[in-house]
């Protein structure tokens, strides 16, 4: 029950094609990651909405197969 | 007929200014993320109601559907979903949490 960083990145990019995704594996167990996702699609969205967009991209894996994903979201620099 | 779990959730978040749905209790958090959320609220000196989702599977799943948010902890201020652990910490660090509490007239220690 785990995911690898490439799979997470690929799912996010499928839903947010312009996104830049930087993932760190916090514990090396495939279950605890930190990710910074920057995308123009977040424009005008609250933090909660931005995170919900990333969770939606992960199609229900968040909280199940993926136990922890510390998220930082924002607009591209 | 509204989902009874939603009714219970609405009662909790409307009858208490600040509610934290968490794993464990404020005194004994059972997960690092829940503990971090409790720490932020304690540092701010905010009184809050802690709801231990580990003791109630209906609430544990119901709250995720209610907020369309897949993880625990979840913070509610004056009936509104504020965020999970990351957002609580980020808002605390940027001062946005202080602004929100002031705006919603929830008392806390200004110096924190």
Q: What is the pLDDT tens value at each position of chain B, 112 positions in all?
A: 569 999 999 999 999 999 999 999 999 999 999 999 999 999 999 999 999 999 999 999 999 999 999 999 999 999 999 999 999 999 999 999 999 999 999 999 987 6
Q: Rounded to whole angstroms, how far apart are CA atoms B95 and B79?
A: 20
Q: Do A55 and B84 touch (CB under 8 A)?
A: no
Each domain of chain B, given as residue ranges in start order, spans 2-103
> Which among A63, A68, A71 has the least Cβ separation from residue B64?
A63
For residue range A35-71, what is the model confidence (pLDDT) as tens digits?
999 999 999 999 999 999 999 999 988 888 888 899 9
Q: What is the pLDDT of residue A67?
A: 82
A60 CB within 8 Å of a chain B CB: yes
A51 CB within 8 Å of a chain B CB: yes
ipTM above 0.95, yes or no: no
Contact in structure between B19 and B80 (CB atoms under 8 Å):
no
| Spatial strand order in the sheet of B18-22 | B49-52, B18-22, B74-77, B80-83
Q: What is the pLDDT of residue A1?
A: 61
Contact in structure between B82 and B104 (CB atoms under 8 Å):
no
Q: Rounded to whole angstroms, how far apart are CA atoms A33 and A11?
A: 15
pLDDT > 70 in chain A, percent: 99
Q: What is the pLDDT of residue A61?
A: 86
**Which 8-state DSSP code applies to residue A27?**
S
Q: Do A52 and B68 touch (CB under 8 A)?
A: yes
Exposure b/e, B64-101, CB count within 10 A at least 16 = b: bebbebbbbbbbbbbeebbbbbbbbbbbbeeeebbeeb
Q: Do A47 and B70 touch (CB under 8 A)?
A: no
Q: What is the DSSP string of chain B?
A: ---HHHHHHHHHHHHSSEEEEESB-SSSB-SHHHHHHHHHHHHTT---EEEEGGG-HHHHHHHHHHHT--SS-EEEETTEEEE-HHHHHHHHHHTHHHHHHHHTT----TT-
The CA angle A65-A68-A70, to the nearest 5 degrees, is: 140
Q: Rounded to whole angstroms, how far apart are CA atoms A68 and A74?
A: 19
Q: What is the pLDDT of residue A77?
A: 83
- Reported confidence tier of residue A2, pLDDT bands at 50, 70, 90: confident
Q: What is the pLDDT of residue B1?
A: 56
Each domain of chain A, given as residue ranges in start order, spans 5-74
Pairs of residues, one from chain A and one from chain B, whose beta carbons lie less than 8 Å apart: 32
Q: Is A27 a residue whose pLDDT tops 70? A: yes
Q: Is A30 a residue whose pLDDT tops 90? A: no
> Which among B70, B82, B91 has the least Cβ separation from residue A55?
B70
CATH fold for domain B2-103:
Glutaredoxin (3.40.30)
- Superfamily of structural domain A5-74: BolA-like (3.30.300.90)
């Amino acid at each position: 029950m785990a995911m690898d960083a490439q799979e997470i990145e690929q799912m996010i990019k499928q839903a947010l094609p312009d996104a830049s995704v930087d993932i760190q594996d916090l514990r090396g167990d495939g279950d605890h990651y930190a990710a910074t996702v920057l995308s123009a699609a977040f424009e005008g969205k609250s933090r909660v909405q931005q995170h919900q967009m990333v969770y939606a991209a992960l199609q229900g894996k968040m909280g199940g197969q993926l136990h922890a994903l510390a998220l930082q979201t924002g607009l591209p620099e | 007929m509204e989902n009874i779990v939603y009714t219970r959730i609405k009662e909790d978040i409307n009858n208490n200014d600040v509610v934290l749905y968490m794993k464990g209790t404020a005194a004994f958090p059972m997960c690092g993320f829940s503990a971090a959320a409790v720490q932020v609220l304690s540092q701010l000196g905010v009184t809050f109601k802690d709801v231990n989702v580990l003791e109630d599977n209906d609430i544990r799943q119901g709250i995720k559907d209610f907020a369309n948010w897949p993880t625990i902890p979840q913070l509610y201020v004056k009936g509104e979903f504020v965020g999970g652990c990351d957002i609580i910490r980020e808002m605390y660090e940027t001062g946005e949490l202080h602004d929100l509490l002031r705006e919603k007239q929830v008392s806390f220690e200004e110096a924190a």
